[in-house]
Amino acid sequence: MKKVGIFKKGEMCLDEILEEIRKNPQIKNAGAIGAFIGIVRGTSPKGEKVKFLEYETYRNVAIKQLERIRDELIEKYKLVDLMFYHVAGCVEVGEDILYLVAAAEHRKEVFAALQEAMDRLKKEVAIWKKEVTDKGAYWVSEKKRK
């Protein structure tokens, strides 16, 4: 299993990722494994009822960006492992969008790495989100403008 990926709904599950991270020979040095699961919220920031989200990506570019972020965070936080998986396509309310799993010697590094990984993913990775609500559809942007 690759350490980062873009997947279609239903192709990936948290159990598989946890099983894979535990196979890392360095897991014996870890005292914590933490996971973040992003799911589709039922109400938009504008208060509209969300029907579904649609994610588009430049898959090869996004994977390279995820790999770069992964490598940088492993070094910065001295992680045993870090895995990123994001969905592409349509996802309905309550369904999983994203899995981030980190392993480190201590929980402090795990929590910090998960937070930064999520923040950087939203700002740096070639993944775009369209929110479809009961009042229409629009693209949501959290990327920094250059």
Q: Which of 105, 90, 117 is nearest to 35 (CA)?
A: 117
Give 4-140's CATH code, choosing from 3.30.420.10, 3.90.1170.40, 3.40.50.300, 1.10.287.310.
Answer: 3.90.1170.40
Q: Per-domain residue ranges for the chain?
A: 4-140
The tokens of 10 are what? 């239903």
Q: What are 28-83's pLDDT values in tens digits? A: 999 999 999 999 999 998 899 999 999 999 999 999 999 999 999 999 999 999 99
Q: What is the pLDDT of residues 95-123, one digit of tens each?
A: 999 999 999 999 999 999 999 999 999 99
Q: Which residues pair with 127 in a beta bridge?
A: 57
**pTM of the model as a whole:** 0.91
